[in-house]
Structure 1
Amino acid sequence: MPPATALLFCLALAACGDVPKVNAPTPAPGPEPTIAPIDALISLAPAPGSMQSVDPDGLVPRADALRARAEALRVPVADPATRAPIATP
């Protein structure tokens, strides 16, 4: 039996089954969310230009090292004289 026919047979067989009913409990109703006034949210934000970028995990030097390593790996593996005989036209 070809694989496509077997797959179609399995899909047709699976379609014959009933979908089980899931009786999940409904969540208890809670308080409705309230919308905060935008002025209060803006007053909590820091002033523009007052934030300093901090690199607590030292990711910048690590990223620079990875970029340097990637640049070093970009050199050709074989020199042009070696690649010429195997190059496709």
Structure 2
Amino acid sequence: MRLALFLLMTGLATACTQFPELDATATPGVADAPYPDLLPIDQLLRGSAARATPEVRAGVEARAAALRGRAAALQGPVIDAATRRRMAGGVATR
């Protein structure tokens, strides 16, 4: 019973956590902007496609390239060869 109460309290405490990195990404004025109108899906699908400005496109492409670079760096071995050889020797007991 105590474990269940502890898990419940931990879950409730984490639900109250602030995420400043998300708050910092909000466009200025968004909090005060009115809610958009709800439209039928047919009307939305008939509308023109969104277009990105060259600046937005360059920013997205730069971020994608940086993420690809990070992903490539993570593809290497986790344990270097020297450490792997040392680990293969086992643990010496006295």
Which has the larger Rg? 1
Q: TM-score, normalised by structure 1?
A: 0.34
Q: TM-score, normalised by structure 2?
A: 0.33
